[in-house]
Amino acid sequence: MATPYKRQHYLPAAYLKYFSVDQVNRGRESWVWRFDGQAQRQVRVDSQCANNFHYSKNEAAAVEAIFSATETLYCDCLNKIIADSELSERDCGILLMCMFDFYIRNAVHRNDTGQEEIIAYRRRLGIFYSQILLKKEGLVTNADVHAHILKYWRLEIINTPRGRVLMTSDNPSIWTSIKATRPGLHLLILPITPQKIAVAFDIRHIAYVTKQMSEEDYLTVIDSQIHNAVTSVYASAQFSDENVTAMRQRFSGKESLGCQTNETSWKVALASLPQEFHFSFLRHTPPLL
């Protein structure tokens, strides 16, 4: 008899299914193109980004309940976006929380706690809300988080250039700092379909310009997915021979992002953007403090 909840996804199949080859009947059993640094092939969505008891053997059912609830809400938001329905404030909040969580729960983080991964995940979650998002000492409540996000964060959906198709990766939520002297989390980018990305930003530092990305924006987003990938990138369409050659070279020079969690701290790998900014759909909001 199979053990319930043994196979645990560190990137939800609920996320990856939106990049499946069949863009009409998307599901966990759909197929997606994967490039692993050497070669490409089609793989089933639910076979990817998972390990046996990745988070917990002792709390397997509880872990499944927690993550599956979040994933259901994510799918509700994505289905609205695909149907060209307007997202509510609540929808935007849910999608932003998923952009946070897809990174915090990812296998890119080495677990040096000596305990199950679910313990390391909870430690990262606590550090994120207190030290990274709110930068507040002591207890942080759900009300604190909600108020902070409503006041300082915005989310927009940006479209690719006509005819361009996005890839994603096994670590797709890109956390970015735009100030090298005082790094912090200012910008998040997550490919959500082959034609759209979700962009979340701190309005104290960044302002929104347009829903359409340029060709240069598109290439930057693609490169960021390759840079962030742990082992693989994914797409709804087969990669060209030219792209495979270029990505193979890019993967060969990749270094570990060096993320790790121990008993007291969490090392985060923030991407960086120079002051000049490379996204035409956003701009700086001066002054950067």
Q: Strands 271-272 and 174-177: what pairing?
A: parallel
> Residue 287: what pLDDT?
45
* Confidence class for position 277, pLDDT limits 50, 70, 90: low
Q: Strands 7-9 and 50-52: what pairing?
A: antiparallel
Q: Amino acid identity, residue 93? A: G
Nearest to 42 by CA among 248, 267, 235: 235
* Confidence class for position 275, pLDDT limits 50, 70, 90: low
Beta bridge partners of 34: 41, 234
* Residue 286 in this model has a pLDDT that exceeds 70: no
The CA distance from 90 to 88, in Å, is 5
Q: Amino acid identity, residue 232? A: S
Residue scoring higher pLDDT (253 or 200): 200
Backbone angles phi, psi at 223, to 5 degrees: -65, -35
Predicted confidence (pLDDT) per residue in 127-145, tens digit:
999 999 999 888 899 999 9
Q: Amino acid identity, residue 49? A: C
> Residue 138: what pLDDT?
81
* Residue 288 in this model has a pLDDT that exceeds 50: no
Averaged over 10-36, what is the pLDDT?
96
Q: Amino acid identity, residue 269? A: A
Beta bridge partners of 235: 33, 167
* Confidence class for position 2, pLDDT limits 50, 70, 90: low
Averaged over 197-205, what is the pLDDT?
95
Predicted confidence (pLDDT) per residue in 83-121, tens digit:
999 999 999 999 999 999 999 999 999 999 999 999 999
| Whether the bond into 287 is cis, omega within 30 of 0 | yes
pTM metric for this prediction: 0.94
51 membership: H or E segment, kind and range = strand 50-52
Query: What is the average pLDDT score of the chain?
Result: 92
